[in-house]
């Protein structure tokens, strides 16, 4: 609202003397008129400013009212969202409680299923044992019948030559006595009735063994032999020719693994065919199924999952973090902070399990079958338990387990929780064998040269990985039955499998090698992971070449330049007396040839290594394990040819010997590389095209491998 204009005040005219000068009055009037005009303008400006400020005030009041309304609406929305959040929180808690109850019911159902499966497996094994016993008795009965028939035939022939028997000649015609000897009883033959009953019994056994679920051992063997003929992979030097029952087949191993979560060599498990226990977990050594009689199944007296919670592993020790009051475990003296030391009479044959050295997976699974309170040894260790709890609370803590494994097959990411993809020969550092409370491992993929972690994630545990291994072998066997499929499989992406057998307990040497030959008695001994340990050599490691016939030519080429002798040197073979050839510090050039007397002594190798030079050796791959046993960790460099005929490498082969024998030796060494307890370095054909390129690639490989970490499977050297 515009304020009213102020009335103009009339100027007060003073009486001007008439005698004043007219010019001075006129100037004064002009000045006054000018001042008046300026005052009017200033007054008008001030009125405009007041008007503008009033309008801005009104606009500001309107905006303030709008903001107050929006604030009230937002406050209402906040209260509504808070109520919704409280409602959702209550609902989520309800869902969580329901999920917890369902998990408990599921665990109880799984335990019940496992118990029933164990009982049923025991029944199947009893049935199978009785069937085998019945078959043995049938064979014995047939053999006795055959011997009886043969004896009767021989007696009949003697009777025909000698005339009537003495019994018949001494009997009177009217006598009631009768000769029941073989000579006078030609119709006495029980074999037809026995054979008929045997045939009917065999038909009944075969009919019962063809039921679809669950198949017995013999039916699995029959289907295995019919559908998957793994004998086409090659011959087996250990074929059972004595007629004794063979070990279970691959299909049975697959079916038996579905209900197992860890090594069933523990007490209370039936002697069903199954994979070997995890040999890498410290404290749990594999037990051969035939080394001792199995222990009968015992019904559990308590549910360990409901009573006790475990923490820790082989790196920190296994401790009890929670015990249900009044439970069976509490009555045995277990309490929070108790360290588990030993579980007695749990392995096959009454062996004890050192829980203080076991992984979390082994300890958790073995205690599922704990029935005798006196068999569990434990002690209170609050200091170590407090230290473990502080480690568990740290964000950087990875796990209470710690060991390294070498992967023996290609595994793609899969599962509900995606597993960490791994390739064959990858090195994994296992830090938790009960990852997320399940039987799966948390691992770190390591750089093979520096042992630095690259990726972290979950991996299948030992038994799950062995299922994948057996399934892979089964698929490979089925593809070999069709040549077309075999050709197509070559075009597909290669899936590597490293066939390594488990080390027998108490073995004095390495396990039997599997050179891509699989039989019905070998598949259950194949292991998906190999336990390895990192070794950082303090001195330069000697160098071996594969194929070994190339060693002499390559060493001569590497020593030719004048500058090379400052870095490389070799141990020339020397004649070894026959009395020293079997000594551990002597390595023969050709161990398979008894008449070859050339060899290299360990002292010669150590002398060159002490000079800070690369020691080039002419030894074959058969000497790698002997070097490892003496604390020498060689570098094995395999030169992969561009073709199977070794075209460009033949000029370095020794001139003596037939060409085909040398090629066979090279192929055997290629297969032997897979079973070495030490990693080897392969020079791909794409890395060299001439002799100079090959020698340069070898020098570069030697330099890089000298700085790399050596991963050794020590358990195969015992």
| 342 CB burial (10 A radius; 0-12, 13-18, 19+) | middle
Higher pLDDT, 201 or 625: 625
Q: How do residues 526-536 score in pLDDT, each as one tens digit?
A: 899 999 999 99
Q: CATH no. for residue 713?
A: 3.40.50.300
Residue 701 has pLDDT above 90, yes or no: yes
Give the residue-averaged pLDDT of 186-214: 42
Residue 143 to residue 556: CA distance in whole angstroms: 68
Residue 628 has pLDDT above 80, yes or no: yes
| 192 CB burial (10 A radius; 0-12, 13-18, 19+) | exposed
**Least confident piece of the model among 467-471, 578-582, 640-644:** 640-644
Residue 599 has pLDDT above 60, yes or no: yes
Q: What is the CA radius of gyration of the chain?
A: 45
Please check whether residue 185 lies inside any domain of the structure.
Answer: yes
**Least confident piece of the model among 17-26, 345-354, 431-440:** 17-26
- DSSP string computed for 142-205: HHHHHHHHHHHHHHHHHHHHH-S-HHHHHS-TT-S----SGGG-TT---HHHHHHHHHHHHHHH
Please check whether residue 380 lies inside any domain of the structure.
Answer: no
639: part of which helix (H) or strand (E)? strand 635-639
Three-state SS string across 316-371, please?
A: CEEEEEEECCCCHHHHCCCCCCEEEEEECCCECCCCCEEHHHCCHHHHHHHHHHCC
Q: What is the pLDDT of residue 13?
A: 47
Q: How do residues 521-578 score in pLDDT, each as one tens digit?
A: 455 678 999 999 999 988 899 999 988 888 888 888 888 876 566 788 898 888 888 8
Higher pLDDT, 155 or 227: 155
b/e per residue, 557-581, with b = 16+ CB within 10 A?
bbeeeeeeeebbbbbebeebeeeee
Residue 656 has pLDDT above 50, yes or no: no
Local confidence band at 128 (pLDDT 50, 70, 90 cut-offs): confident
Residue 255 has pLDDT above 70, yes or no: no
Residue 624 to residue 634: CA distance in whole angstroms: 7
Q: Which residues contact 353 (CB under 8 A, 6 or more apart)?
A: 266, 283, 284, 342, 343, 344, 346, 347, 362, 366
Q: What is the pLDDT of residue 645?
A: 57
Please check whether residue 94 lies inside any domain of the structure.
Answer: yes
Give the residue-averaged pLDDT of 311-333: 88
Residue 339 has pLDDT above 50, yes or no: yes
Alpha helices in 189-277, H assignment, sequence order: 191-208, 217-227, 250-257
Local confidence band at 649 (pLDDT 50, 70, 90 cut-offs): low
At 143, list the tokens. Answer: 């053999």
Number of other CB atoms surrounding residue 294 within 10 Å: 19
| Pairs from 680-683 (Cβ < 8 Å, separation ≥ 24) | 680/546, 680/636, 680/637, 680/638, 681/635, 681/636, 681/637, 681/638, 681/705, 682/637, 682/638, 682/640, 683/637, 683/638, 683/639, 683/640
Residue 205 to residue 226: CA distance in whole angstroms: 18
Q: What is the pLDDT of residue 428?
A: 94
Please check whether residue 671 lies inside any domain of the structure.
Answer: yes
Residue 108 has pLDDT above 50, yes or no: yes
Give the residue-averaged pLDDT of 502-507: 66
| 217 CB burial (10 A radius; 0-12, 13-18, 19+) | buried
Q: How do residues 673-690 score in pLDDT, each as one tens digit?
A: 888 999 999 988 888 888
Please check whether residue 462 lies inside any domain of the structure.
Answer: no
- Among 532, 563, 549, 544, which Cα is nearest to 702's? 544
Q: What is the pLDDT of residue 615?
A: 92
Q: What is the pLDDT of residue 195?
A: 47
Local confidence band at 327 (pLDDT 50, 70, 90 cut-offs): confident
Please check whether residue 417 lies inside any domain of the structure.
Answer: no
Local confidence band at 230 (pLDDT 50, 70, 90 cut-offs): very low
Give the residue-averaged pLDDT of 694-710: 92
Residue 290 to residue 273: CA distance in whole angstroms: 11
Going through 264-313 in order, the beta strands assigned E by DSSP cover 308-313
What is the average pLDDT value for the chain, to the nearest integer?
Answer: 74
Q: What is the pLDDT of residue 415?
A: 55
Local confidence band at 659 (pLDDT 50, 70, 90 cut-offs): low
Give SS3 for 575: strand
Strand partners, 313: 317
Residue 439 has pLDDT above 60, yes or no: yes
- Which domain covers residue 110, as residue numbers? 64-165+178-208
Residue 220 has pLDDT above 80, yes or no: no
- Among 404, 398, 439, 395, which Cα is nearest to 316's? 398
- Count Cα neighbours of 305 within 13 Å in the Cβ-side half-sphere: 13
Local confidence band at 7 (pLDDT 50, 70, 90 cut-offs): low
Local confidence band at 644 (pLDDT 50, 70, 90 cut-offs): low
Higher pLDDT, 179 or 704: 704
Q: What is the pLDDT of residue 40?
A: 93
How far, in Å, are 272, 315, 330, 349, 546 from residue 377 at the CA level?
28, 19, 14, 19, 51
- Does residue 712 contact residue 678 with C-beta atoms inside 8 Å? yes
Local confidence band at 455 (pLDDT 50, 70, 90 cut-offs): very high
| 601 CB burial (10 A radius; 0-12, 13-18, 19+) | middle
Q: In the chain, what percentage of residues exceed pLDDT 90?
A: 29
- Among 296, 226, 305, 293, which Cα is nearest to 261's? 305
Residue 662 to residue 683: CA distance in whole angstroms: 20
Local confidence band at 495 (pLDDT 50, 70, 90 cut-offs): confident
Residue 338 to residue 356: CA distance in whole angstroms: 11
- Among 365, 383, 389, which Cα is nearest to 312's? 389
Higher pLDDT, 533 or 374: 533
Number of other CB atoms surrounding residue 708 within 10 Å: 19
Q: What is the pLDDT of residue 295?
A: 32
Q: What is the pLDDT of residue 590?
A: 81
- Kindly give the interhelix angle for 551-559 and 691-707, rounded to the nearest 10 degrees: 90
Q: Looking at residue 648, what DSSP letter applies?
A: T
Give the residue-averaged pLDDT of 344-357: 80
Please check whether residue 589 lies inside any domain of the structure.
Answer: yes
- Kindly give the interhelix angle for 250-257 and 217-227, rounded to the nearest 10 degrees: 120
Residue 608 to residue 571: CA distance in whole angstroms: 8
Residue 139 has pLDDT above 70, yes or no: yes
Number of other CB atoms surrounding residue 222 within 10 Å: 16
Tally the domains of the chain.
2
- Does residue 288 contact residue 558 with C-beta atoms inside 8 Å? no
Residue 271 has pLDDT above 70, yes or no: no
Please check whether residue 403 lies inside any domain of the structure.
Answer: no
Question: Which of 135-139, 284-288, 561-565 has the largest mean confidence?
Answer: 135-139
Residue 75 to residue 562: CA distance in whole angstroms: 88
Higher pLDDT, 306 or 371: 371
Higher pLDDT, 614 or 233: 614
Give the residue-averaged pLDDT of 615-636: 91
Give SS3 for 419: strand
Q: Which residues contact 175 (CB under 8 A, 6 or more apart)?
A: none
How far, in Å, are 55, 60, 70, 374, 663 from residue 67 at the CA level?
19, 10, 5, 77, 91
């Amino acid at each position: 609202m515009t304020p009213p204009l102020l009335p103009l005040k009339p100027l007060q005219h003073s009486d001007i003397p008439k005698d004043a000068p007219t010019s001075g009055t006129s100037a004064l009037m002009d000045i006054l008129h000018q001042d008046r005009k300026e005052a009017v303008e200033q007054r008008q400006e001030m009125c405009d400013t007041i008007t503008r400020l009033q309008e801005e005030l009104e606009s500001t009041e309107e905006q303030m009212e709008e903001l107050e309304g929006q604030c009230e609406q937002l406050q209402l929305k906040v209260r509504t969202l808070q109520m919704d959040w409280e409602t959702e929180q209550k609902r989520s808690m309800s869902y969580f409680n329901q999920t917890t109850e369902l998990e408990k019911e599921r665990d109880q159902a799984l335990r019940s299923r496992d118990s029933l499966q164990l009982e049923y497996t025991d029944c199947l094994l009893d049935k199978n044992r009785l069937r085998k016993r019945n078959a043995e008795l049938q064979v014995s009965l047939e053999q006795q019948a055959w011997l009886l028939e043969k004896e009767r035939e021989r007696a009949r022939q003697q009777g025909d030559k000698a005339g009537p028997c003495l019994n018949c000649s001494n009997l009177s015609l009217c006598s009631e006595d009768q000769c029941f000897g073989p000579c006078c009883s030609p119709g006495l033959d029980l074999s037809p009735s026995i054979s008929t009953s045997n045939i009917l019994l065999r038909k009944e056994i075969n009919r019962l063994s063809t039921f679809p679920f669950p198949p017995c051992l013999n039916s699995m063997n029959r289907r295995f032999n019919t559908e998957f003929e793994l004998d086409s992979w090659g011959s087996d030097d250990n074929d059972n020719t004595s007629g004794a029952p063979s070990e279970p087949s691959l299909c049975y191993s697959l079916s038996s693994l579905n209900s197992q979560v860890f090594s069933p060599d523990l007490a209370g498990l039936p002697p069903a065919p199954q994979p070997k226990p995890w040999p890498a977990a410290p404290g749990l050594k594999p037990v051969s199924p035939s080394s001792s009689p199995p222990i009968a199944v015992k019904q559990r007296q308590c549910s360990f999952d409901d009573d006790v919670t475990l923490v820790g592993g082989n790196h920190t020790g296994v401790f009890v973090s929670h015990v249900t009051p009044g439970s069976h475990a509490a009555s045995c003296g277990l309490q929070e902070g108790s360290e588990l030391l030993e579980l007695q009479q749990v392995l096959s044959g009454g062996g004890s399990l050192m829980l203080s050295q076991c992984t979390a997976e082994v300890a958790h699974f073995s205690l599922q079958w704990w029935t005798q309170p006196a068999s569990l040894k434990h002690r209170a260790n609050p200091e170590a338990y407090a230290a473990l709890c502080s480690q568990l609370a740290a964000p950087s803590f990875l796990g209470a387990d710690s060991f390294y494994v070498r992967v023996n097959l290609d595994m793609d990411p899969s599962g509900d929780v995606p597993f960490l993809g791994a390739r064959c020969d990858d090195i994994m550092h296992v830090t938790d064998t009960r990852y997320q409370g399940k039987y799966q491992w948390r691992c770190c993929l390591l750089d093979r040269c520096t042992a630095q972690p690259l990726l972290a994630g979950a991996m299948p545990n030992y038994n799950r990985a062995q299922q994948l291994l057996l399934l892979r072998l089964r698929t490979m066997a089925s593809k070999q039955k069709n040549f077309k499929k075999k050709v197509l499989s070559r075009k597909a992406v290669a899936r590597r499998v490293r066939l390594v057998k488990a080390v027998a307990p108490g073995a004095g040497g390495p396990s039997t090698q599997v050179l891509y030959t699989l039989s019905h008695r070998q598949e259950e001994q194949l292991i998906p992971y190999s336990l390895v340990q990192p070794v950082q050599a303090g001195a330069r490691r000697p160098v071996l070449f594969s194929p070994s016939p190339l060693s002499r030519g390559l060493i001569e080429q590497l020593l030719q330049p004048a500058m090379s002798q400052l870095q490389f040197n070799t141990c020339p073979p020397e004649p070894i007396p026959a009395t020293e050839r079997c000594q551990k510090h002597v390595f023969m050039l050709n161990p398979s040839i008894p008449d070859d007397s050339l060899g290299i002594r360990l002292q010669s190798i150590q002398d060159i290594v002490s000079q800070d030079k690369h020691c080039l050796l002419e030894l074959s791959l058969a000497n790698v394990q002997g070097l490892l046993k003496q604390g020498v960790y060689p570098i094995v460099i395999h030169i992969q040819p561009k073709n199977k005929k070794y075209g460009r490498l033949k000029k370095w082969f020794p001139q003596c010997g037939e060409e085909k024998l040398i090629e066979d030796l090279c192929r055997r060494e290629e297969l032997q590389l897979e079973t070495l307890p030490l990693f080897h370095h392969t020079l791909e054909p794409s890395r060299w095209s001439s002799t100079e390129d090959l020698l340069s690639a070898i020098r570069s490989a030697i330099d890089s491998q000298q700085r790399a970490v050596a991963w050794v499977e020590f358990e195969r050297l015992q």
